[in-house]
Amino acid sequence: MAVKVVGVNPGFAWWIILPITVWWIYIADHIVDGFRLKEKTQNPRHLFFYQHRKKLIVMLCIVSILDLILIKFYLPFRMILFGGIIGALVLIYLVAVHFSKTNRYIIFPKELFVAFLYTIGIWGGPIILTNDLHKNVLPILVFFMVTLSNLFIYSFFERDQDVKDGQITLLVAYGEKRALKIIYGWIMFSILFTLIVSIASRLDSVIFFSMMIFLVMLIAQAYLLHMASWFAINNRFRWLNEGIFLMPLAILFCF
C-alpha cells in the first residue's frame, strides 16, 4: 500500500527486502523474549522460539546475508542510510527489551515503540524516494494508529501470560479494566479521527481509498474487542487481528 499511496516504484528488490526484514525483526524479537525467561516462560510462542533458538539463529544469519546482498546492489544510498538508522533503532529496542529492569510502562511503552518502528519501516523507504512527507502524513499517522491498536489487542488477549512473564505492556501496567478502557478509547478516537479527516481534507483518490481501508480495519478491531470472549477461544483473535492487515492489498488491484 505504501508505494501506491506515495506513488513510487522502489524496484523488485524492495518487495523482497521488506518482508525479509520484517520477518527478521519478528523472529529476533521473539528469540529475545524467549531468552528472558527461557523454559519458565508462560507464552507458548516464546517457549517455541527459545527451544528452537539455534536453528532460528542460523536461519537469521542466512537471511541477513541475503538481505545485505540485495540492499548493497539494488537499493539507492539514501534508502540504505535510512535502513541503517532503522536497523540501529531496532537493535537498541531489542537490547532494551532484554536488559530492561523497569516495570514502569511510562518509561518503556513496548507497544508504542514497536508500532513506531513498524510504521517508519513500512513507509520510510517510499517517502525517502519522494521527499514528500507532507502529502502523505495522514495515511502514515492512521496506519500507526491501526498498528498500535493491533498491538494493544495482543496485549489484552495475552495479559495473563504477560503478567507471569513480567512483560511491560499496557495491560500489565494499568490492569485489565483500566487498560481496556484505554484501548477502547484509543480505537474509538482513531475511528473518529480517520472519518473526520477523510471527509474534511482534500485527499486524492488513492489516499482517500487507503483511509477508508484503515477505517474498516479499525472498525474490525473494535468488533474484535466487543466480542472478546468469543475471539479468545482457541486464539481466534489472531485470525482477525492479523488478517485485517491483508486488506491494504486491495489498493494494488484498484489503482
The DSSP code sequence of 202-252 is ---HHHHHHHHHHHHHHHHHHHHHHTHHHHTGGGTHHHHHHHGGGGGGHHH
Quick one: pLDDT at residue 171? 80
Average pLDDT over residues 113-135: 88
Total tally of structural domains belonging to the chain: 1
C-alpha 234/C-alpha 232 separation (Å) is: 6
Q: Given a cut of 90, is residue 150 above it in pLDDT? A: yes
At residue 4, what is the residue type?
Answer: K
Cell (9 digits) for 103: 516495570
* Closest residue by Cα to residue 255 from 12, 36, 81, 1: 1
C-alpha 140/C-alpha 36 separation (Å) is: 33
Q: Given a cut of 80, is residue 227 above it in pLDDT? A: yes
Pairwise pLDDT comparison (247 vs 255), residue with the higher score: 247
Quick one: pLDDT at residue 186? 96
How far from the centroid of its chain's Cα atoms is residue 204's Cα? 26
Q: Which range among 55-69, 173-187, 209-223, 239-253 has the greatest average pLDDT?
A: 209-223
* Closest residue by Cα to residue 187 from 158, 150, 162: 150
C-alpha 100/C-alpha 108 separation (Å) is: 8
Q: Given a cut of 90, is residue 33 above it in pLDDT? A: no
- pTM for the full model? 0.88
Lowest mean pLDDT among 50-64, 102-116, 176-190, 194-208: 102-116
Q: Which domain holds residue 41?
A: 2-254
Q: If you average pLDDT over every residue of the chain, what do you get?
A: 87
* Closest residue by Cα to residue 155 from 199, 215, 221: 221
